[in-house]
Amino acid sequence: MKKIFTPIFVAGAMLLSSYNTNAQCYSAVSLDGVNQYLHTPFANYAFSNFTMEMWISSADFNPNEHYISLYQNAYIVLGGWNSGGVFDTWADGLSPISISTNPVNTPAVGTWHHVAFVFDGTNQIIYIDGVAVTTTPTGGAVNNTTAFASGLVIGARYTQNTQFTPTTFEDVRIWNVARTPAQLNAYMSSNLTGSEPGLLAYYRFEDGAGSNTVTDLSGNGNTLTMFNMDPATDWIPGPFGVAQSTDVQNSCGPITWIDGNSYAVDTLGATYTYLGGSVFGCDSIVTLDLTINSASQATDIQAACESFTWIDNNTYTSNNNTAVYTIMGGAANGCDSIVTLNLTINNSGQSTDTQMACDSYTWIDGNTYTASNSSATYAVPGGSANGCDSIVTLELTINSIDATVSTNALELTANESGAQYQWVNCDNNYEAMNGETNQMFTATANGNYAVIVTGSNGCSDTSACIAITTVWVDEINLENGIVVSPNPTSGKFTISTQNYSGEVRIEVLDVTGKLIYQTKADLNPNSEKQIDLGAAADGIYIVNISDLNQSQSIRVVKN
């Protein structure tokens, strides 16, 4: 059964006809088979492939009738001129030029049927109610020539004076493409948009009583004119004139439709009938096509340092994967967009910079510290592996060394205990004194002395120079009466004794402790030992005289 779909929604409002439920539903024209027909000059089109289709109800299916006769740039006919009520075709240039159906396929008179004639470049096919009843392999090509110039005729031969048919037409379509079986079956009972590719002429016969023309709904302007017909009586109610439309709805939740029912799931097929609601006065049947869309779900993955203020204007200071926020109408389908937060809060890195220094230390914050410190901090922006700041705490130990010296006559003592010591001669460019590495140092010659103190904490410092000016020869003469003379000397001097007897060891050292002369001698009150320092540089020298039990040191000045 053919269904005519007439859109009835405009700008969201239902268009209701003012006709009552008994009004005529014009969607067909009836021809008497005597001299009535419809004609249009038609335009020139190429027909390498083609389709002719129609909805008809015939009174007799007698031989020698033309239903559609196209004689414009091509000669293509869908009719019936053989006996037995068969459908016959004609296509000039094809081989065979004509094909027919089997009489067993002939529809009953007075009933509506869809008939189509198709050439797809390989076969000619006749369809009845969507079923291919004749398929004939075909060669040749449609003869397109301007010699064919009589236009399109419905209900008679192209000459418009013979082969009339007593038939009612409801829907006629002319194509210059081959419609597939699937296309024929899908659309033969539905309205077209009129813009389908290859659609050359499209007649729904809905102009209605009073009109002597039938509008070409393809937009190509091939309007039919009624000949020998009465516009007041030859328009008749079509059996399929009820207007049908689909109400396509998309919703984000349940809707209450025009039938008063609530729908919460996708629905296709619910219908509602407006009695006399179409523009032609027929009933308007609306079918619901409802899609229930869901709110979209999304996760906002965020990572932040210490805290994060989200789209809900809340500030979060710890990890969160439960907070949600709804963006009204934010989904692509128009529904809400529900966003779930997936937040990771990273903390600043914490580290300790342990340092040890002597006396003072300048840290990364630019400050100089002279005392131990365990509270100073410094933030390195983005210095943590997670991208947050790195907070560094200073753990500083400031060590010191006591580089002072106590003096007791000729004895110098470093006040720092438990350290390493090196006594130096300030008068000789702080040269280290050989063997003088004890905490205490006894000066054997006048001069300026200092000590380098190195503590176990790694710190090292040099004391101030201590001046020794009280070392004299008579201070260190032996009680046994050993005498050095002359002193000062130009180089040669003698060592003698008044009351000592025995063998002694004699060593001469310079002020750095370097041994420059040594010998042994037997001393007694009646002898002396001569020493010659003529080759030595002028300066102060220490003469050490010792036996097995005692030793004495005498300062000698050479000049």
Question: Is pLDDT at 359 greater than 90 in this prediction?
Answer: no
Question: Is pLDDT at 4 greater than 80 in this prediction?
Answer: no
Give the lowest-confidence range in 64-78, 238-252, 318-332, 409-423: 238-252
pLDDT tens for residues 107-154? 889 899 999 999 999 999 999 999 999 999 999 999 999 999 999 999
Instruction: Give the integer Cα–Cα distance in Å for 440 and 459.
Output: 20
SS (H, E, C) 387-437: CCCEEEEEEEEEECCCCCEEEECCEEEECCCCCEEEEEEHHHCCEECCCCC
pLDDT tens for residues 159-193? 999 999 999 999 999 999 999 999 999 999 888 88
Question: Is pLDDT at 239 greater than 80 in this prediction?
Answer: no
Q: How much is the pLDDT for 244?
A: 67
Residues shown for the chain: 559
Question: Is pLDDT at 5 greater than 60 in this prediction?
Answer: no
Q: How much is the pLDDT for 241?
A: 59
- Return mean pLDDT, the chain: 88
pLDDT tens for residues 448-471? 999 999 988 889 999 999 998 876
Listed in order, the ranges of the chain carrying CATH 2.60.40.3080 are 473-558
Instruction: Give the integer Cα–Cα distance in Å for 229 and 34.
Output: 11
Burial string for 455-485 (b: 16+ CB within 10 Å, else e) reads beeebebebebbebeebebeebebebebbbe
Give the strand pairing for 284-292 and 243-251: parallel
Q: How much is the pLDDT for 551?
A: 82
Q: Across residues 242-261, what is the average pLDDT?
A: 87
Q: For the structural domain made of 473-558, what CATH number should be given?
A: 2.60.40.3080
Residue 107: cis peptide before it, omega within 30 degrees of 0: no
Listed in order, the ranges of the chain carrying CATH 2.60.120.200 are 27-237
Q: What share of the chain is helix, strand, coil (3-state, %, to 5)?
A: 5, 50, 50
**Whole-prediction pTM value?**
0.46
Q: How much is the pLDDT for 26?
A: 60
Q: Across residues 419-447, what is the average pLDDT?
A: 91
Other beta carbons less than 10 A from residue 168's beta carbon: 22
Look at residue 48 and give its three-state secondary structure: coil
The rounded percent of the chain whose pLDDT value lies above 90 is 62
Q: Across residues 331-345, what is the average pLDDT?
A: 92
Q: Say which residue, 515 or 511, is predicted with more confidence.
A: 515
Give the lowest-confidence range in 84-93, 250-259, 268-277, 392-401: 268-277
In which band, very low, low, confident or very high, does the pLDDT at 527 lie, cut at 50, 70 and 90? confident
Look at residue 184 and give its three-state secondary structure: helix
The rounded percent of the chain whose pLDDT value lies above 70 is 91
Give the lowest-confidence range in 284-288, 328-332, 401-405: 284-288
Q: How much is the pLDDT for 222?
A: 97
Q: Say which residue, 8 or 284, is predicted with more confidence.
A: 284
Q: Say which residue, 244 or 484, is predicted with more confidence.
A: 484
Instruction: Give the integer Cα–Cα distance in Å for 177 and 46.
Output: 10
In which band, very low, low, confident or very high, does the pLDDT at 92 lie, cut at 50, 70 and 90? very high
Q: How much is the pLDDT for 338?
A: 93
DSSP H or E run through 183: helix 181-187
Q: What is the DSSP string of 289-355?
A: EEEEPPPEEEEEEEEEES-EE-TTS-EE-S-BS--EEEETT-STTSS-EEEEEEEEEEPPEEEEEEE
Instruction: Give the integer Cα–Cα distance in Å for 24 and 236.
Output: 8
Q: For the structural domain made of 27-237, what CATH number should be given?
A: 2.60.120.200
Q: Residue 268 forms beta bridges with which residues?
A: 289
**Amino acid at residue number 460:** S
Highest mean pLDDT among 23-32, 176-185, 274-283: 176-185
Question: Is pLDDT at 282 greater than 70 in this prediction?
Answer: no
Highest mean pLDDT among 122-131, 302-311, 547-556: 122-131
Instruction: Give the integer Cα–Cα distance in Å for 242 and 279.
Output: 10
Residue 186 phi, psi (nearest 5): -75, -30
Q: How much is the pLDDT for 84?
A: 82
